Structure 1
């Protein structure tokens, strides 16, 4: 990797704020992931995301991030973010979209809607509506 890229591994939670404050991009080249909290944490700070093109991410992040499949594309996208302020700002805004979607207020509304739908469906089945 270039000299300005650090693969820092697992970081103690007490150090995470400092790490995010130093970051310009969250780069996750992993081939397999669950729902990594680092993506939500970075999106909450408006940090652009560059992630490997995984089905999981498409299903939970809805295209609001840069995606690549190989090292050449990762390098190209990192350089584009570095050299194109408009592109960088676009992906800052995309991170903000992810942050809003997974905010506690929106998640509460999604669960409330889900349970109300289940309740109303059951009431219809019982003939109570």
Structure 2
């Protein structure tokens, strides 16, 4: 269980670093988002707070940075901001990030002991187009 907490802490740190980097990105004309060189739309923390929700893509999925301190209010987005090892900015699906969930305490112990880095897809804002890979647990 401790290893799962460590993995979640590392993921959270990576997401926070990604969020802090987007704060310095050039703002789009509406000041409610920013775009990177690769034209990945990244809603700002301020725009999420102002609108009271994460934006929703054409497939009905919420997306954006993890708003950890506001999780009680906003929850987690379906697509969470992430950066792969090559610096590609995109989104990972929360369900992919969470990985297999134990159904029993014994299964939780087994999953913790067997935990190893795993690769999940990094998506464009549509949640369908794979633009890279993200390593969980490294």
Larger Rg: 1
Whose strand fraction is larger, Structure 1's or Structure 2's? Answer: 2
- TM-score where L is the length of structure 1: 0.30
